[in-house]
Structure 1
Amino acid sequence: MTAQTAMRRTQLYLAPLEGITGYIYRNALEKYFPGADRYFTPFIAPDQNKLLRTKETRDVLPENNHVPELVPQILTNNAQHFIQTAQVLRDMGYEEINLNLGCPSATVVSRRRGSGLLAFPEDLDRLLGEIFDGIDIKVSVKTRIGSEDADEAAALMEIYRKYPLSELIIHPRTQKQLYRGRADQELFGQLLGSFPFPVCYNGDLLTQTDYETFTEKYPQTEYVMLGRGVIADPGLFHRIRTGETTSRKRLREFHDEILAGYREAFGEDRNAMFRMKEIWIYMFRLFPDCEKYAKKLKKAQSLAQYQCAVDAIFEQEMI
């Protein structure tokens, strides 16, 4: 199978990135650079005090989302919190919920959430058992391959095989690796075909070449999740689907729509500007000669200073 054939049959997902891929970003991406089949929300973290906070509710409200399919993601190690939150989301019209077992951040891991739970396979097994005993909605899982070592993967995958997951999204790094080193694509390839449910690949596909190389090597992969590569190059999904290059004009319109959305959502400029700076951490890659203006953008303390730096960056050569 050629990469072109793989491109036609592979489903593309946008990975959730906290602080970036909220509904304002998702809607703009779908409007200006369509190509993703599914979008996943940044994680919802319910606790004993509240299932959904105001910000999380706003992000999942169906009327705020204009994308082909949206899957809410929950971060918890408490089955009842997951079930109760899933019921709220089901009542909003959602048909699938994703359980986050992949987040590697220290604050999450220290509370045995995200990939922190992978170090305790008995607790993980118990959590999944309680969730599937108490839920009537599809549940998918996003996971890493272990806590400390990839040798943990076999036992973890056996746990997942016990349950009727709607999908398993595998980021083939351990929690300890964070985002260092290379994702273990070979291990993912060995796991393909060994599950009774769909499996999605996630990790290190940052460019169209990365994507095409991966799908050529593992043509049986039907589902691929991209994250940082899309934030760095918002046109990536669209280019994979159509072959069209990212237009400078369209990229600027995309940028301006997100900025306007943030200004409206936050009710003031300063928070909107700082949220845009988080996106630029990735998107500077599109403008390799913008270092001088990138520094000005990072130092900007007012919207006028920020806009001036953005204008200068968009005058630079794009890759």
Structure 2
Amino acid sequence: MEGLTGFVWRAAHSRFFGSADAYYTPFVTPTLEPRFTERQLRELAPEVNAGRHVIPQLLTRRPADFVWAARALRDMGYREVNLNLGCPAGTVVAKGKGAGFLRTPSELADFLRIVFDEVQGIDVSVKTRIGWSEESEFEDLADLYAHFPICRLIVHPRLKTDQYKGDARRHVLERLYPDLPMPVGYNGDIVTAFDAEQVQRQFPGLAEIMIGRALMADPALIRKARGGMPAGAEEIFGFSDALFESYASAFGSRKNALMRMKEYWFFQLCLFDRTEPFEKAMFKARSEADFFGALAAVRENCPLRSEARYGWRKPL
């Protein structure tokens, strides 16, 4: 969730809806120079993440870059770092990163060998897809991962070529799940509390359920999955107002904050019905007055749903 789940959103979400067990940062790409950029440090600074369990997510195919970054994060007080092998974006996989690394399993094995030889004092988890283009690839990948002390393997059961289309291929994970030796997490198509219950029944003993875009659509989803109440309109719009002001403060620009809020409300609208008449005005708004006017129209005219629509999903 590049940009959207940054430290501003995490602080606001935990304040309004209760903290998640863990928050993963947006991708951090280590540079060739062994130090984080100022922008990366704004995201990773311990003080902006105080009171929340935050796991930095690294995106790289260079073992040396992962090693220095993991050591630096350890020294900053982080207890875990995550290697992302799931991102299917074209600009990422073209460089052999994210899900692009899954095309070269021998190179991935060499990468992991170096990482686990040289990184101590911080746990390393891995988020992965089940392969590049064929379901059969996951058997070899699972065997590869089993050879390393991965603290947790989070599986998004789609292929890179699936992008985010169609249904998650849970049957592929189900076949190999009992034999995976490390704790396993699940990611993919968790949009409602019922979805989370189904996944927990299908995969008994899951170490975690990772939720992405659906938490933008329904920020109370984790609370509901724990047996709590859904979000009310006052809570949703109060959260939105606080988020905007926090972005404006963090960015030093209300204009940039407005652009980020449009990205956020693309997902948040999935928690409302009959939003179509107001969407154009919202996303084309050039001023705060126009944007918040469109939000007021949504609040007045659009019923709040008990569960979010899967509005960002595409068919195969």
Tell me the TM-score normalized by structure 1: 0.92
Structure 1 stretches (4+) deviating beyond 6 angstroms? none
| 1:73-92 matched pairs, under 5 angstroms | 73-92=57-76
Deviations 1:269-301 (A, max 9, x none): 111011111111111111111211221101101
The alignment yields a C-alpha RMSD, in angstroms, of 1.3
What is the aligned partner in structure 2 of residue 19 from structure 1?
Answer: 3
Q: Which residue of 2 aligns with 1:63?
A: 47
Q: 2:313 is matched with which residue?
A: none
Contact 1:115 1:144 in 2 (8 A): yes
Equivalent-residue separation in structure 2 for 1:47 and 1:70 (angstroms): 21
Opposite residue 89 of structure 1, the aligned amino acid is L
Unmatched 5+ stretches in structure 1: 1-16
Q: Distance in 2 between matches of 1:263 and 1:68?
A: 22
CA-to-aligned-CA distance 1:20-78 (integer Å, 9 cap, x gap): 00011111111111252111001110121464222221111111014531110100001
Find the aligned partners of 2:170 and 2:83 in 1 and give their Cα distance.
22
The SS at the match of 2:83 is: strand
Can you give the 5+ residue segments of structure 2 that lack an aligned partner in the other structure?
306-316
Report SS of the residue matched to 1:43: strand
Letter aligned with residue 41 of structure 2: T
Query: Equivalent residue for 1:128?
Result: 112
Query: For residue 214 of structure 2, what is the amino acid of its counterpart?
Result: G
Number of residue pairs the alignment of both structures matches: 303
Query: What's the CA shift string for 1:107-165, capped at 9, x where partnerless?
Result: 10000000101000111000000111111121110000101111110111111111001
Q: Determine the C-alpha separation between the residues in 2 that align with 1:246 and 1:109.
A: 37
Structure 2 counterpart of 1:37, from 21, 40, 65: 21
**Equivalent AA in structure 2 for residue 61 of structure 1:** A
Give 2:303's aligned residue.
317
State the 1:216 CA deviation: 2.8
Q: Give the Cα separation in 1 of the matches to 2:277 and 2:182.
A: 49
The percentage of counterpart residues that share the same residue type is 38
User: Does residue 196 of structure 1 match 2:181?
Assistant: yes
Name the residue aligned to 2:308.
Answer: none
Q: Structure 1 residues 39 and 291, CA, compared in 2 at 3 Å: closer, same or farther?
A: same
Q: Secondary structure at the match of 1:72?
A: strand
TM-score normalized by structure 2? Answer: 0.92
Matching residue of 1:52? 36
The 5 Å alignment of 1:92-107 reads: 92-107=76-91
For 2:276 and 2:190, locate their aligned partners in 1 and report how far apart those are by CA, in whole Å. Answer: 24
Q: Cα 1:182–1:67, aligned 2, differ >3 Å: closer, same or farther?
A: farther
Contact 1:27/1:66, CA 8 A, preserved across alignment: no
Q: Which gives a bigger RCO, structure 1 or 2 (Cα 8 Å, sep 6+)?
A: 1
Aligned to 2:262: 277
